[in-house]
């Protein structure tokens, strides 16, 4: 058991007094534990949880307010360190959705989903939040991921506008901020993630029930996987025939209107509907598996990357939405959009380790700190409610801090740790 050493002296006297006063009412096992505490001057973490000894910084976007917030969490709690506006449409909402921080921590990228008629990605300096460049992309650019050296950015064009047609993944050269490729995939791609080796890119298409793999050398679709229960099959090569399920039209609506498109919003699936409606594709830390969040069927599908088969279907909470894996590869975190909770799954057994209710509803993103100590979760909120960033201690599996940000908190990414202020 991990323990924290405390100073002897007055603290030790206090512990001895405590042992004397409560020993008669405790079980023999707990008495022995407290006697050990008194003798050696230590307090187990189950009794005294340490506060963070440094500051953790996370960027979060507010889609309904065109805001970027830098949240600071440390020994003094959590607060918004600074906030800045984004976008260039003064009379309308640009809708920042996805964010990715470069590994050198010098820049970050923000996708602006609502454009006229296209969206865009903006590059910012982390030093002073100055705009360093921008590039126009497809309709509703959403989730993003950077390759290891930060030279290429992979952006899914989610295309929530109009009819559900096959969309694409854009590849952006981050130096000049130029789109170097636009790779056709399928309808409503979301959850853009690269494997650890940087050789494959994965996204999930909500309206085609598909996981799509892109080869990063050829910049072409190398394989795709139909995830529908009872019809699951992996196929080599690009998608030849669209299997798009036509939803109610969304023409004229904005993403913030919370249209429920195939389980993307808050409505549960109809009886007998076995479709997945995937919203996230998350490679494992070694890249051997890809975990897919089935938002409609409320399960997590694990696909073997080598064999290209379904390994298992892990039961999830209602409306599972975004995923993150701890750096040690042992746990999977999931935000549950319809359940108002975050779940932690043991990846070896597939068992749910914890279900953690959140302060507000409509869960969105999750990111884990590099030391695996904390998870940061964005919660959109409903109506006039502000967005929220909930901070979970992964050792106790409890929310230890919460901070309000601007409306409809969406994409978030970890920036860095630094000495506490």
Longest dimension (CA), the chain: 76
* CB-neighbour burial class of residue 90 (10 A; exposed 0-12, middle 13-18, buried 19+): exposed
- What was the pLDDT predicted at 41? 40
Is the model's pLDDT at 161 over the cut of 60?
yes
What is the per-residue pLDDT across 104-144, written as a single tens digit (0 to 9) for each? 999 999 999 886 678 999 999 999 999 999 999 998 999 99
Backbone angles phi and psi of 260, in degrees to 5:
-85, 105
- What was the pLDDT predicted at 113? 86
Is the model's pLDDT at 40 over the cut of 60?
no
Q: Which residue reads 């995923």 in tokens?
A: 323
Q: Which residue reads 């190398």 in tokens?
A: 222
Determine which of 75-79, 239-243, 263-267, 271-275 has the lowest per-residue pLDDT on average. Answer: 263-267
What is the per-residue pLDDT across 229-244, written as a single tens digit (0 to 9) for each? 999 999 999 988 544 4
pLDDT band (50, 70, 90) for residue 355: very high
CA-based nearest residue to 367, from 73, 80, 160: 73
Backbone angles phi and psi of 8, in degrees to 5:
-80, 175
Is the model's pLDDT at 261 over the cut of 60?
no
> Which residues are CB-contacts of 331 (< 8 A; sequence separation ≥ 6)?
325, 344, 345, 346, 347, 353, 394
| Beta partners for residue 393, in sequence order | 374, 398
- What was the pLDDT predicted at 377? 98
pLDDT band (50, 70, 90) for residue 266: low
- What was the pLDDT predicted at 49? 54
Is the model's pLDDT at 171 over the cut of 90?
yes
pLDDT band (50, 70, 90) for residue 245: very low
Is the model's pLDDT at 35 over the cut of 60?
no
| Beta partners for residue 119, in sequence order | none
- What was the pLDDT predicted at 343? 98
Is the model's pLDDT at 397 over the cut of 50?
yes
* Burial state string for 12-30 with b = 16 or more CB within 10 A and e = fewer than 16: beebeeebeeeeeeeeeee
Alpha-carbon span 70 to 101, nearest angstrom? 12
Cβ(100)–Cβ(109) below 8 Å = yes
For 355, other C-beta atoms within 10 Å of its C-beta total 14
Report domain extents, the chain: 3-44, 54-419
Is the model's pLDDT at 34 over the cut of 70?
no
- Please give the model's pTM, rounded to 2 decimal places: 0.84
Is the model's pLDDT at 17 over the cut of 60?
no
Is the model's pLDDT at 177 over the cut of 70?
yes
pLDDT band (50, 70, 90) for residue 274: confident
Average pLDDT, the chain: 85
pLDDT band (50, 70, 90) for residue 221: very high
Structure-block tokens of residue 167: 């969309």
Is the model's pLDDT at 375 over the cut of 70?
yes
Is the model's pLDDT at 200 over the cut of 60?
yes
pLDDT band (50, 70, 90) for residue 95: very high
Mean pLDDT in residue range 333-341: 96
Is the model's pLDDT at 5 over the cut of 60?
no
- What was the pLDDT predicted at 72? 98
Computed from CA positions of residues 261, 266, 270, 275, in that sequence, does the dihedral angle turn out positive or negative?
positive
- What was the pLDDT predicted at 10? 41
Alpha-carbon span 125 to 102, nearest angstrom? 10
| Sheet strand arrangement including 289-294 | 278-283, 289-294, 299-304, 309-315
Task: Give the C-alpha distances (Å, rounded to integers) separating 126 from 75, 110, 152, 366.
Answer: 23, 12, 18, 21
- What was the pLDDT predicted at 260? 45
CATH hierarchy code of domain 54-419: 2.130.10.10
Is the model's pLDDT at 210 over the cut of 70?
yes
């Amino acid at each position: 058991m991990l323990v924290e050493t405390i100073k002897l002296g007055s603290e030790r006297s206090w512990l001895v007094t405590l042992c004397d006063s409560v020993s008669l009412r405790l079980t023999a096992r707990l008495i022995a534990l407290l006697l050990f505490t008194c003798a050696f001057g230590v307090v187990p973490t189950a009794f005294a949880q340490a506060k963070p000894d440094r500051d953790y910084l996370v960027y979060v976007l507010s889609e309904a307010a065109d805001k970027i917030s830098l949240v600071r969490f440390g020994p003094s709690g959590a607060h918004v360190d600074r906030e800045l506006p984004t976008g260039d449409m003064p009379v309308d909402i640009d809708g920042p959705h996805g964010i990715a921080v470069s590994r050198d921590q010098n820049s970050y990228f923000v996708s602006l989903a609502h454009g006229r008629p296209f969206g865009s990605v903006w590059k910012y300096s982390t030093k002073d939040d100055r705009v360093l460049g921008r590039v126009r992309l497809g309709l509703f650019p959403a989730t993003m991921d950077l390759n290891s050296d930060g030279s290429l950015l992979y952006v899914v064009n989610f295309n929530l506008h109009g009819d559900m047609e096959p969309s694409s993944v854009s590849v952006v050269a981050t130096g000049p901020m130029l789109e170097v490729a636009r790779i056709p995939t399928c309808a409503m791609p979301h959850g853009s993630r690269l494997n650890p080796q940087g050789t494959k890119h994965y996204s999930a298409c909500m309206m085609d029930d598909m996981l799509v793999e892109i080869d990063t050398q050829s910049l072409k679709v190398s394989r795709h996987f139909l995830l529908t229960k009872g019809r699951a099959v992996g196929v080599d090569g690009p998608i030849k025939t669209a299997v798009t399920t036509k939803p109610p039209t969304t023409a004229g609506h904005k993403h913030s209107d919370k249209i429920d498109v195939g389980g993307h919003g808050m409505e549960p699936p109809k009886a007998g509907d076995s479709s997945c409606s995937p919203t996230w594709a998350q490679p494992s830390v070694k890249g051997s598996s890809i975990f897919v969040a089935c938002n409609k069927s409320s399960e997590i599908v694990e696909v073997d990357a080598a064999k290209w088969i379904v390994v298992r279907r892990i039961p999830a909470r209602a409306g599972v939405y975004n995923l993150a894996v701890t750096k040690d590869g042992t746990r999977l975190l999931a935000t549950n959009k319809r359940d108002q909770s975050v779940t932690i799954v043991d990846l070896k057994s597939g068992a749910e380790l914890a279900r953690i209710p959140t302060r507000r509803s409509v869960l969105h993103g999750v990111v884990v700190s590099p030391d695996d100590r904390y998870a940061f979760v964005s919660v959109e909120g409903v109506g006039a409610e502000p967005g929220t960033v909930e901070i979970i201690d992964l050792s106790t599996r409890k929310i230890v801090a919460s901070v309000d940000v601007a409306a409809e908190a969406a994409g978030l990414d970890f920036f860095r740790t630094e000495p506490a202020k």
